[in-house]
């Protein structure tokens, strides 16, 4: 469904972009308009279907998702109905591009980080806005007599200040006096500081959120594994903190024979096949593989391939040793399980 | 008070900006001057009121706050009194923009980070100043014969070097020789290094300061909660480290029924209302909610809304499990409290 | 071998670059073509030799390494054979530049970080692509009547938007209207946000991967040291986490007499010579030095030089004290070993 | 001495810069030459004095410091002696700018971080150099027919690629074809990636080095404090990790009466004066202050001022509670000491 939506949206955006190019032959504009209309109607249909399926319609209609759906569906046909010319109506196709981002999973993480750090980000931005105002005012005072067109008002100087503090540097307005250039240098360096402050704030925010998200993801899966059923809540939390979720498609090679072994895997969902020289073994949810290479330090002695989509929990060697030292009962569990079957490494 | 000040300052800044636009009708300039004067007089009044209210007037007058207040109040009227033309007097309105930043809470954090990291930042900047000097001198040697106007002196070449190392690139001075362009490439890459070094330094500084500020904020609230009264100092410190302060306005939805539960909340200030299917329950300072979803893993079974402004202490699931494992007595406290009432999850 | 390949590739790239310069004398072009041909033939030869040496030829041929080898070997001669002009054939020499990066060890780390963080990076990029589309559409609406050449279509406005959001700012298209310039300011600031988000994501990813890689590197060496043979797995993991691998060439000075001692070293591979005032002592794999300065706090009392290439495990003073406190048996081992020989500090 | 050197170097650099300005009156050039000569002679003198003072002269002469001293001393007079014109001789004054950075303490930290991370930084840079070569070659192919002057050779296109990937964007060469502009967009985004990767690498490196440096600084002071004499090595390491070194000048206010207390201080060097309402008390090396505010949570009840330069070890409240919980014997020490005297908070 997501792929279908994204394809339709892409077609729509391309039609919308192409439709604004001057100098195309007349048929092309008509084709673009038709394509835009078809895309809009498909999104109309989708909106109606979704609305009918929902039980709480009014609540759904005010969610962000539904508003984007509505923006993708209504404006283009509406503009044509109220009699706007073709080329104006097509412009509303820009809303289809919103369909390209909203289904993205990692986007929620981004939004959370920006939300968490909004205070600091706004503070930095406000401070730099004040720097901008001062820079523009001083540049206006310094340069207005030499360049009355470029620096003839503080708002005009503000345009120079913005292009300079962001280090864009169009070059349409350049201070000429020595004092003006010294000021410009300071403004440029402040711009670098703006970059750096934002980057610093966001780096800190990302580290926190990623740690949190990884834990939540793996916790969900860890509690369902029978292997860990008898461990206490403390041990479970520690394991969930160390395991990383790894998704793989059908046929994906998880472990390759002969390569150094730097992690072991628990199967949270799906099945995998161990392809050793001697035999092929199937492993199911709750089982694990790759632990021998961690214990012995030898290279992998089998290739492991996913059968159908699977979700694995990866335990890196660094964390395996850590865990083995602090949770000896887990190591015992793994060894006991290992003894029960001919373990593929 | 802060909102009032910011509104007045915004009006003043807009009047100041508009007043410098050339080509407005004559009445507009007079209106701008009058608006500037009114804003300045309001700030004068505010300054006098504040001064009279203070007990230690001299000490207050040299604080940063008071100096900004003075700069916002005095220069515009003073300039008019000493006979400066209207358009010069209005320029001093730039100081009003300072009012926009100083009341900001997160600003103190920024200032602390910059203060802590000032040594490293100054070192990087000094080193890049030397790189600038070398770049300008070499460009002067390489380019002066080809472009005597653009690179005719080291200060002129310095202007080129500054616009290049900050990657602003106005394009008014461009090296033409092969050696000059190679130098320019190196200077640009050094500029990227300046960005990256600053960003790296500030990211490190932010991580430290945020950890510290979060702890201080939550410590203040944690020690006041009756629930934690009997815990030792060590347990309190651990709890304060994990809890995050969350402010909310009247009517804000803290927890929504049916959503996955990834945190529990302690009420540090204010009241909330739990809206379950069966009943509505009020919770007061010192009480907590949302813990059932953490323990059971089920989605939220009630919506919780703030009644009036409130301050909550949020405990994320990752930290809840951590804490439950290391401070079992806290888990007991929560369970006992939970047993005493029909707990909303 | 790597150095040989890189030298040949460098010669090839220089010949390829020089060959495109207009205005050289005719012989120069012929020389460039000959040099390109020689380089291509050397790489052809290398490819054939490698292919013959491999036991699993088909598997090898589809590895990234082999494909780069093939791209470096075939296109230039092939183009000449099928009758392409000299200057076109020489252009394929660009593939030689790939030889300059692929042998690089730290490159794998980069690739891993980018791979781990690809979801977040793609999310940010998609979001900014949508911002770009909106910015271009709005700029098109705002500016097309004033500047029909520059902003006459959305794709044309997109070019402006890209140069602006990346803060490149060529200055060939500049919005003129007030609304257009306000939009441009917002786009520039979004561009800084793109930088900052990427930097934040990557900083987090690097911290994780570096920790992991350092551990794997030192673990490999730690388990081979006889000194640590009798320690448990938990102690070994802790030691490996703290030790940093340091490579040095023959003759490199590892420790210099009279300098403050802030680390001790274990020899993982190779030999070193301790040059004290009294005597010269050779230390072999498994031995250690520099521990006296950590214990006493005195400056180094000898200079230590590598004999041939060596790999050392460095233990910083901060980690030494940490380890000494938590693994007292290790401190005992070091003291016992120290007592057995006249220890160079 | 450092301040003297820096002043002389600053005078020299200004004279050198001014001396290259065209259009000054003749006397100015002579003044600049004389000033440059005086500065050079002062540095000559300094070099000779330093050389004579050193016992191991040859060893000293090859240190970085001595080479900078030599570069600052010799070239300008030498150039004049061998008959170079004034304006050429003055150019060697650029070496004086090196004197501005080398005495800087935090510079060593920068150098260490760059040294530690050099592998990753070089990898990123190499990869981007290859991207540059590809971008230039493709731009050459796409644009040479339309713009033979700007993109007529790969080296010429390389100049465009460098200004674009660093987002400098001089605007002297701009691709015109659709494919060329698409390429340019990709190159700009790669440039942002270069920034982000460097920033990510350096942020990680800084976090590691700062942690290390802070520990070494405070360890040096902690071991000398009599208060901690009887603590074990493990406790000492933990304390040193938490304490931050803070330098202050004579008269600096360390703690101000009535402010919230968020840290306590140990005096590592120098003296301070506690100014309470009742009395003034002097504290000497090894004593501490500010602990009462941490224990009680009340605001500071005295102002503390440094008498002469002092070095303090600051313990933040977050770390104080941590330490108090894990090292109860330290809390006992502080309480015992506190009981022995009328403690200023």
- Find which of A323-327, C32-36, C113-117 is predicted with most confidence, using mean pLDDT: C32-36
Stretch D45-59: mean pLDDT: 89
Q: Determine contact: D167 vs chain B, CB below 8 A.
A: yes
Q: Is A294 exposed, middle or buried (0-12, 13-18, 19+ CB in 10 A)?
A: buried
**Would you say residue D237 has pLDDT above 80?**
no
Q: Look at strands D244-248 and C244-248 and give their pairing.
A: unpaired
Stretch A295-323: mean pLDDT: 81
The confidence band for C1, taking pLDDT boundaries of 50, 70 and 90, is low
Using the Cα atoms of residue D55, residue D58, residue D62 and residue D65 in order, give the sign of their dihedral. positive
Report DSSP letters for B51-72, one per residue: HHH-SSHHHHHTSHHHHHHHHH
Q: Between residues 193 and 232 of chain D, which touch chain B (CB distance below 8 Å)? A: 194-195, 198-199, 201-207, 210
**Would you say residue C344 has pLDDT above 60?**
no
Question: For A106, which of C120, C184, C236 is closest by C-beta distance?
Answer: C120
Question: For D171, which of A171, A200, A203 is closest by C-beta distance?
Answer: A171
Chain D residues close to B195, C-beta within 8 Å: 195, 198-199
Distance, in Å, from the CA atom of D200 to the CA atom of D123, rounded to the nearest integer, reads 14
Distance, in Å, from the CA atom of B299 to the CA atom of B258, rounded to the nearest integer, reads 5
Distance, in Å, from the CA atom of B334 to the CA atom of C124, rounded to the nearest integer, reads 40
Q: Identify how many contiguous H helices and E strands chain C contains and give both numbers.
A: 15, 6
- Structure letter (DSSP) for residue C298: P
Coil, helix or strand at residue C307: strand
**Scanning every residue of chain B, which has its alpha carbon at the shortest distance from the alpha carbon of A149?**
B22
**CATH class assigned to B118-205:** mainly alpha
Distance, in Å, from the CA atom of B337 to the CA atom of A301, rounded to the nearest integer, reads 54
Whether residues A163 and C122 touch (CB distance < 8 A) is answered with: no
Distance, in Å, from the CA atom of A214 to the CA atom of A200, rounded to the nearest integer, reads 21
Q: Determine contact: D8 vs chain C, CB below 8 A.
A: no
Distance, in Å, from the CA atom of A234 to the CA atom of A223, rounded to the nearest integer, reads 12
Which one of D135, D321, D331 would you mutate to disrupt binding with B, by most B Cβ within 10 Å of its Cβ?
D321
**Would you say residue D138 has pLDDT above 90?**
yes
Question: For B195, which of D109, D110, D195 is closest by C-beta distance?
Answer: D195
H/E stretch holding B18 reads helix B2-19
Q: Which pLDDT value is given to residue B344? A: 45
Which tens digits make up the pLDDT trace of C131-174? 899 999 999 999 988 888 888 888 889 999 999 998 888 888 89
Q: Which pLDDT value is given to residue C343? A: 45
Stretch D125-130: mean pLDDT: 85
Q: Which pLDDT value is given to residue D32? A: 86
Residues of chain A above pLDDT 70, percent: 93
Residues of chain D above pLDDT 70, percent: 93
Stretch B306-326: mean pLDDT: 80
Q: What percent helix, strand, coil does chain C show, rounded to 5?
A: 65, 10, 25
The confidence band for B343, taking pLDDT boundaries of 50, 70 and 90, is very low
Distance, in Å, from the CA atom of C242 to the CA atom of C222, rounded to the nearest integer, reads 11
Using the Cα atoms of residue A275, residue A279, residue A282 and residue A283 in order, give the sign of their dihedral. negative
Stretch D89-105: mean pLDDT: 79
Which tens digits make up the pLDDT trace of A182-230? 999 999 988 888 778 888 888 888 877 777 777 777 777 777 777 777 6
- In whole angstroms, how far apart are CA A124 and each of A197, C265, D192? 7, 45, 21
**Would you say residue D131 has pLDDT above 60?**
yes
Stretch B13-28: mean pLDDT: 84
- Could you report the predicted ipTM of this complex, rounded to two decimals? 0.77
Q: Which pLDDT value is given to residue C47? A: 92
**Would you say residue D341 has pLDDT above 50?**
yes
Q: Determine contact: A233 vs chain B, CB below 8 A.
A: yes
Higher pLDDT among residues B273 and D342, named by residue: B273
Cβ partners under 8 Å of residue C51, min gap 6: C57, C60, C61, C66
Instruction: Give me chain C's average pLDDT, please.
Output: 83
Q: Determine contact: B63 vs chain D, CB below 8 A.
A: no
Q: Which pLDDT value is given to residue D64? A: 79
User: Contact B319/B264 with Cβ under 8 angstroms?
Assistant: no
**Scanning every residue of chain B, which has its alpha carbon at the shortest distance from the alpha carbon of A164?**
B168
Distance, in Å, from the CA atom of B197 to the CA atom of D201, rounded to the nearest integer, reads 9
Instruction: Give me chain D's average pLDDT, please.
Output: 83
**Would you say residue A345 has pLDDT above 50?**
no
Q: Look at strands C288-289 and C280-283 and give their pairing.
A: unpaired
Coil, helix or strand at residue C1: coil
**Would you say residue C102 has pLDDT above 60?**
no
User: Contact D68/D99 with Cβ under 8 angstroms?
Assistant: yes
Minimal CA separation from B233 to chain A, in Å: 22
H/E stretch holding D254 reads strand D253-255
Torsion over CA of C218, C224, C228 and C229, rounded to 10 degrees? 150
**Would you say residue C63 has pLDDT above 90?**
no
Instruction: Give me chain B's average pLDDT, please.
Output: 83
Higher pLDDT among residues B203 and D40, named by residue: D40
Write down how long chain A is.
345
Distance, in Å, from the CA atom of B256 to the CA atom of B260, rounded to the nearest integer, reads 9
Distance, in Å, from the CA atom of B38 to the CA atom of B77, rounded to the nearest integer, reads 10
Coil, helix or strand at residue B342: coil
Stretch D255-272: mean pLDDT: 83
Distance, in Å, from the CA atom of D256 to the CA atom of D306, rounded to the nearest integer, reads 12
**Would you say residue B91 has pLDDT above 80?**
yes
Cβ partners under 8 Å of residue B50, min gap 6: B60, B66, B69
Q: Where are the domains of chain B?
A: 2-103, 118-205, 226-340
Which tens digits make up the pLDDT trace of A245-296? 888 888 888 888 877 777 888 888 889 998 887 788 888 888 888 887 777 7
HSE (CB half, 13 Å, CA atoms) of C104? 23
Higher pLDDT among residues D327 and B176, named by residue: B176
H/E stretch holding C244 reads strand C244-248
The confidence band for A343, taking pLDDT boundaries of 50, 70 and 90, is very low
**Would you say residue B135 has pLDDT above 90?**
yes
Which tens digits make up the pLDDT trace of A227-243? 777 666 667 777 777 88
**Scanning every residue of chain C, which has its alpha carbon at the shortest distance from the alpha carbon of B202?**
C200
Q: At what angle do helices D178-222 and B178-222 cross, to 10 degrees?
A: 50
Minimal CA separation from D172 to chain A, in Å: 11
Chain A residues close to B98, C-beta within 8 Å: 130
Q: Indicate the CATH number for domain C228-340.
A: 2.60.120.10
Distance, in Å, from the CA atom of C255 to the CA atom of C298, rounded to the nearest integer, reads 13
Q: Which pLDDT value is given to residue B233? A: 61
Coil, helix or strand at residue C127: helix
- Residue C47's φ and ψ, nearest 5 degrees, are -60, -45
- In whole angstroms, how far apart are CA A292 and each of A299, A314, A330, A342, C231? 9, 14, 15, 11, 20
Which one of A123, A176, A177, A187 would you mutate to disrupt binding with B, by most B Cβ within 10 Å of its Cβ?
A123
Q: Look at strands A288-289 and A263-275 and give their pairing.
A: antiparallel
Instruction: Give me chain A's average pLDDT, please.
Output: 83
Which two three-digit tokens encode residue D227?
A: 């208060």
Which one of C166, C194, C203, C210 would you mutate to disrupt binding with B, by most B Cβ within 10 Å of its Cβ?
C203
User: Contact D93/D13 with Cβ under 8 angstroms?
Assistant: yes
User: Contact C134/A97 with Cβ under 8 angstroms?
Assistant: yes
Q: Which pLDDT value is given to residue C104? A: 56
Distance, in Å, from the CA atom of D172 to the CA atom of D211, rounded to the nearest integer, reads 46
Instruction: Please name the chains neighbouring C, where neighbouring means 3+ C-beta pairs under 8 angstroms.
Output: A, B, D
For the domain made up of C2-104, give the CATH fold. Answer: 1.20.120
Residues of chain C above pLDDT 90, percent: 14
**Would you say residue A301 has pLDDT above 70?**
yes
The confidence band for C291, taking pLDDT boundaries of 50, 70 and 90, is confident
Which tens digits make up the pLDDT trace of C202-222? 888 887 777 777 777 777 777
- Residue B45's φ and ψ, nearest 5 degrees, are -55, -50
**CATH class assigned to B226-340:** mainly beta
**Scanning every residue of chain D, which has its alpha carbon at the shortest distance from the alpha carbon of B133?**
D94
The confidence band for B134, taking pLDDT boundaries of 50, 70 and 90, is very high
Tokens 């472009």 belong to which residue? B147
In three-state form (DSSP H/G/I as H, E/B as E, the rest C), the secondary structure along chain B is CHHHHHHHHHHHHHHHHHHCCCCCCHHHHHHHHHHHHHHHHHHHHHHHHHHHHCCCHHHHHCCHHHHHHHHHHCHHHHHHHCCCCHHHHHHHHHHHHHHHHHCCHHHHHHHHHHHHCHHHHHHHHHHHHHHHHHHHHHHHHHHCCCCCCCCCCHHHHHHHHHHHHCCCCCCCCCCCCHHHHHHHHHHHHHHHHHHHHHHHHHHHHHHHHHHHHHHHHHHHHHCCCHHHCCCCHHHHHHHHHHCEEEEECCCCEEECCCCECCEEEEEEEEEEEEECCCCEEEECCCCEECHHHHHHCCECCCEEEEEEEEEEEEEEHHHHHHHHHHCHHHHHHHHHHHHHCCCCC
Q: Determine contact: D182 vs chain A, CB below 8 A.
A: no
- Structure letter (DSSP) for residue A94: G
Distance, in Å, from the CA atom of C39 to the CA atom of A128, rounded to the nearest integer, reads 54
Question: For C130, which of A97, A202, A204 is closest by C-beta distance?
Answer: A97
Distance, in Å, from the CA atom of B111 to the CA atom of B134, rounded to the nearest integer, reads 32
Chain A residues close to B167, C-beta within 8 Å: 167, 169
H/E stretch holding D272 reads strand D263-275
Distance, in Å, from the CA atom of D67 to the CA atom of D73, rounded to the nearest integer, reads 10
For the domain made up of A2-102, give the CATH fold. Answer: 1.20.120
Coil, helix or strand at residue B129: helix
The confidence band for D42, taking pLDDT boundaries of 50, 70 and 90, is very high
Distance, in Å, from the CA atom of C181 to the CA atom of C172, rounded to the nearest integer, reads 15
Which tens digits make up the pLDDT trace of A36-75? 889 999 999 999 999 999 888 888 888 878 888 899 889 9
Q: What's the maximum distance between 2 C-alpha atoms anywhere in chain B? A: 89
Q: Indicate the CATH number for domain B2-103.
A: 1.20.120.540
The confidence band for A27, taking pLDDT boundaries of 50, 70 and 90, is confident
Stretch D124-150: mean pLDDT: 89
**Scanning every residue of chain C, which has its alpha carbon at the shortest distance from the alpha carbon of D218?**
C318
The confidence band for C321, taking pLDDT boundaries of 50, 70 and 90, is confident
**Would you say residue D49 has pLDDT above 80?**
yes
């Amino acid at each position: 469904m997501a792929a279908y939506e994204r394809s339709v949206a892409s077609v729509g955006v391309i039609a919308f972009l192409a439709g604004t190019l001057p100098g195309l032959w007349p048929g092309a504009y008509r084709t673009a308009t038709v394509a835009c209309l078809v895309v809009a109607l498909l999104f109309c249909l989708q909106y109606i279907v979704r609305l009918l399926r929902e039980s709480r319609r009014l609540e759904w209609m005010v969610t962000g998702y539904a508003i984007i759906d509505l923006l993708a569906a209504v404006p283009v046909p509406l503009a044509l109905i109220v009699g706007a010319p073709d080329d104006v109506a097509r412009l509303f196709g820009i809303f289809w591009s919103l369909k390209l981002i909203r289904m993205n999973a990692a986007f929620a993480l981004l939004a959370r980080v920006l939300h968490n750090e909004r205070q600091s980000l706004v503070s930095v931005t406000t401070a730099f806005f004040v720097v901008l105002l001062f820079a523009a005012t001083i540049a206006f005072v310094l340069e207005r007599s030499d360049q009355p067109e470029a620096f003839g008002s503080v708002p005009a100087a503000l345009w120079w200040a913005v292009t300079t503090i962001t280090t864009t540097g169009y070059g349409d307005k350049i201070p000429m006096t020595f004092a003006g250039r010294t000021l410009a240098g300071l403004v440029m360096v402040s711009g670098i500081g703006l970059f750096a402050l934002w980057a610093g704030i966001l780096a800190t925010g990302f580290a926190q959120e990623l740690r949190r998200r990884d834990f939540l993801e793996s916790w969900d899966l860890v509690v369902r594994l029978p292997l860990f059923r008898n461990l206490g809540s403390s041990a479970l939390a520690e394991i969930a903190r160390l395991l990383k979720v790894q998704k793989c498609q059908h046929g994906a090679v998880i472990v390759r024979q002969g390569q150094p072994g730097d992690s072991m895997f628990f199967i949270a969902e799906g099945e995998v096949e161990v392809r050793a020289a001697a035999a092929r073994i199937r492993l199911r949810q709750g089982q694990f593989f790759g632990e021998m290479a961690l214990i012995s330090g030898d290279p992998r002695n089998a290739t492991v391939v996913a059968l159908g989509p699977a979700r694995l929990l990866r335990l890196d060697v660094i964390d395996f040793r850590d865990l083995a030292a602090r949770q000896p009962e887990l190591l015992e569990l793994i060894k006991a399980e290992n003894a029960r079957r001919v373990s593929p490494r």
